[in-house]
Structure 1
Amino acid sequence: MTKTQTLTQTLGMKLIEVSEGKVVMTMPVDERTRQPFGYLHGGASVALAETAASIGTGHLIDPDTQICFGLEINANHIKSKRDGIVTAVAEAVHRGRSTMVWEIKIRDEEGKLICLSRCTVAVVPKKP
């Protein structure tokens, strides 16, 4: 990650694990990630899901010749949360040459499902 402030840093996301086809990240549920009514903002969950999928794709491509961008994401917000930590586990379900599809499950500290997301990430050649 770069030294400049990014959304990842602003929302307090932490990278826990990156392996072949799997990424684990955490994010706090606090004043940075809550909506006006005091619950985890769905957009924050989506940001966590897409970040995990993008990092996972970045790990699987050639960084010298390729770059990746989120192409499509959907999310089902299953359960609300007021505080604590959520953990995203992203797993690759499709690894193509031009797209990768990831399933991301975001759970609370008790393992309860908070959000279920699917993200398609585009893989494109880097411009010279």
Structure 2
Amino acid sequence: MSDAAPHHSPTEHELWKITLGELDEKMGVRILEESVERVVATMPVEGNRQSFGLLHGGASLAVGEAVGSWAAVIHASTMGKMAVGIDVSATHHRSAREGQVTITATPIHLGGTLTTHEVLITNEAGQRLCTLRITNLLRKHKH
């Protein structure tokens, strides 16, 4: 990302750059793409399975919430704001036993006060494993 103002924002704020948290690192999350329009990450199934050998639903929620929140923070940064999650819901469609999953967050609504993102988790064959929706509240950045 450059220091120039993004083309979609009339303000002179620099886009926030994703930094992995401790849980993200433990889960093996890797960032592939980050912009206001789309955030894409991957995560291995191995190390994130429950006792029956399937991708843990909690791991799906944790990574989906992280990627959706990162997308909201990137948007918020165009206005010099921060984002805090206020609602997340998920539907599990199928599971995975191995390989890696791809997590993609795209905006449903990008407002000045609230954002809502759809987050899709897919397997290596492109099949949908989980659909999340996350809403974030945008607030003034407190230093």
TM exceeds 0.5? yes
Q: Which residue of 1 aligns with 2:9?
A: none
Task: Please give the alpha-carbon distance, in whole angstroms, between the structure 2 residues aligned to 1:35 and 1:98.
Answer: 37
Write the deviation string for residues 10-30 of structure 1: whole angstroms up to 9, x where unpaired.
111111001232111101001
Q: Which residue of 2 aligns with 1:22?
A: 38
Task: Please give the alpha-carbon distance, in whole angstroms, between the structure 2 residues aligned to 1:53 and 1:34.
Answer: 21
Q: Which residue of 2 aligns with 1:88?
A: 103
Bigger-Rg structure (1/2) = 2
The alpha-carbon distance between structure 1 residues 96 and 81, as it changes in their structure 2 partners (threshold 3 A), is: same
Q: Which residue of 1 aligns with 2:129?
A: 114
**1:62 paired residue among 62, 68, 77:** 77
Task: Please give the alpha-carbon distance, in whole angstroms, between the structure 2 residues aligned to 1:63 and 1:100.
Answer: 13
Counterpart check, 1:13 vs 2:29: yes
**SS state of the match for residue 77, structure 2?**
coil
With 58-67 and 111-120 compared, the bigger mean Cα shift is at: 58-67
User: What is the RMSD of the two structures over their aligned residues, measured on CA atoms?
Assistant: 1.7
Task: Please give the alpha-carbon distance, in whole angstroms, between the structure 2 residues aligned to 1:46 and 1:22.
Answer: 18
The alpha-carbon distance between structure 1 residues 89 and 64, as it changes in their structure 2 partners (threshold 3 A), is: closer
Structure 2 portions without partners, runs of 5+: 1-18
The alpha-carbon distance between structure 1 residues 63 and 8, as it changes in their structure 2 partners (threshold 3 A), is: farther
Task: Please give the alpha-carbon distance, in whole angstroms, between the structure 1 residues aligned to 2:95 and 2:74.
Answer: 31
Q: Amino acid of the residue matched to residue 59 of structure 1?
A: I
Deviation at 1:65, TM superposition (A): 4.0
Task: Please give the alpha-carbon distance, in whole angstroms, between the structure 2 residues aligned to 1:55 and 1:22.
Answer: 10
Aligned length: 125
Percent sequence identity over aligned pairs? 34
Q: Which residue of 2 aligns with 1:126?
A: 141
TM-score, structure 2 length as denominator? Answer: 0.81
